[in-house]
């Protein structure tokens, strides 16, 4: 690291080539850049792709859909608190960025919890992949009806659940009894 003093009062900040100019405690310093570029991991690439989809989905919302999401955002978050989305736009992107989550709540009763900011429909199938139960219209933008949690009991020994969210994404969860 090198301290620089300019006789004409010139202060530089930023990067030039492999050198970085910065201000440390009022002194201008020059240091050599050291970061090497690493290849992104598969998980990072997946998140980047989902973020692109989220931005695209939010930008392609109709004017009415944007209005409904803004209104719902204002109802959920009347005043800002840390941890919440800062704007309705970030809130809208969360519908795509958030992955549908399945969780076993009660092992004895085989009760499952499905979580997502906008669950639209859930379908339950038996082991032969025959539809047993469907629950639809859980989230309807125009009615400001949003479902973000659903507790479901299994109806047969072996089954699978498929859930769809507001952005059109889906996830499947299978539970097969060993006996």
- Torsion angle (degrees, nearest 10) of CA 79, 82, 50, 38: 150
Confidence of residue 176 (pLDDT cuts 50, 70, 90): low
Q: Can you tell me the distance from the alpha carbon of 50 to that of 27, in angstroms, rounded to the nearest whole number?
A: 43
35 has a pLDDT exceeding 80 = no
3 or 161, higher pLDDT: 161
Listed residue (116, 102, 95) closest to 51, CA to CA: 95
- Specify the pLDDT at position 177: 58
Given the candidates 1.10.12, 2.20.25, 1.10.3470, 2.60.40, the CATH classification of the domain at 98-175 is 2.60.40
Q: Where are the CATH 2.60.40 domain residues in the chain?
A: 98-175
* The residue count for the chain: 179
Contact between 156 and 148 under an 8 Å Cβ cutoff? The reply is no
Confidence of residue 2 (pLDDT cuts 50, 70, 90): low
Give residue 165's region: left, alpha or beta (phi > 0; psi -120 to 50). beta
- pTM of the full structure: 0.65
- Specify the pLDDT at position 49: 94
Average pLDDT estimate for 36-53: 91
How does pLDDT run across 83-127, given as a tens digit for each residue?
A: 888 889 998 898 888 888 888 888 787 788 888 888 888 888 887
């Amino acid at each position: 690291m090198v301290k620089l003093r300019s006789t004409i009062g010139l202060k530089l900040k930023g990067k030039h080539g492999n050198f970085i100019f910065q201000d440390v405690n009022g002194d201008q310093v020059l240091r050599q850049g050291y970061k090497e570029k690493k290849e992104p991991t598969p998980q990072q690439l997946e998140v980047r792709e989902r973020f692109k989809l989220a931005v695209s989905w939010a930008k392609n919302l109709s004017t009415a859909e944007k209005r409904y999401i803004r209104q719902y955002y204002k109802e959920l978050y009347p005043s800002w608190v840390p941890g919440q989305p800062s704007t309705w736009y970030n809130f809208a992107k969360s519908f795509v960025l958030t992955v549908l989550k399945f969780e076993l709540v009660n092992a004895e009763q085989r009760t499952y919890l499905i979580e997502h900011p906008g669950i639209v429909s859930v379908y339950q199938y038996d082991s032969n992949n025959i539809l047993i139960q469907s629950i639809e219209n859980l989230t309807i933008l125009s009615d400001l009806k949003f479902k973000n949690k659903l507790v479901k009991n299994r109806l047969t020994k072996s089954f699978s659940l498929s859930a769809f969210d507001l952005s059109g994404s889906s996830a499947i969860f299978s539970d097969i009894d060993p006996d």
